[in-house]
Amino acid sequence: MIVKINAPRDNGKRIRLFFPVPLWLARMKFIWKFVPPEGRQYAEMAPEMIRALQDYKRMYGPWNLVEVDSKDAHVLIRI
């Protein structure tokens, strides 16, 4: 998964962030200790969901999970 953020700063410049997040990381049990309590309910189904996302990507190629365009900022999360 790739997360890209392009947004304005207070000083008039722009902040551009790009960081890859490997999907397999969500299948690791120790990661769920760092997730807020309301999100931990998905820990049991996470491995199956990640496997399904990886199979879909393998079959159809990458796709945008979230793409938000406003007049100031652009956010893209691509699987």
Phi, psi (rounded to 5 degrees) for 72: -105, -35
Q: Is the pTM of this model over 0.75?
A: no
- Confidence class of residue 19 from pLDDT cuts 50, 70 and 90? confident
Digit-coded pLDDT (tens) for 61-76: 998 888 998 888 899 9
- Confidence class of residue 9 from pLDDT cuts 50, 70 and 90? confident
Across 1-79, where does the E strand assignment appear?
Answer: 2-8, 14-20, 64-69, 74-78
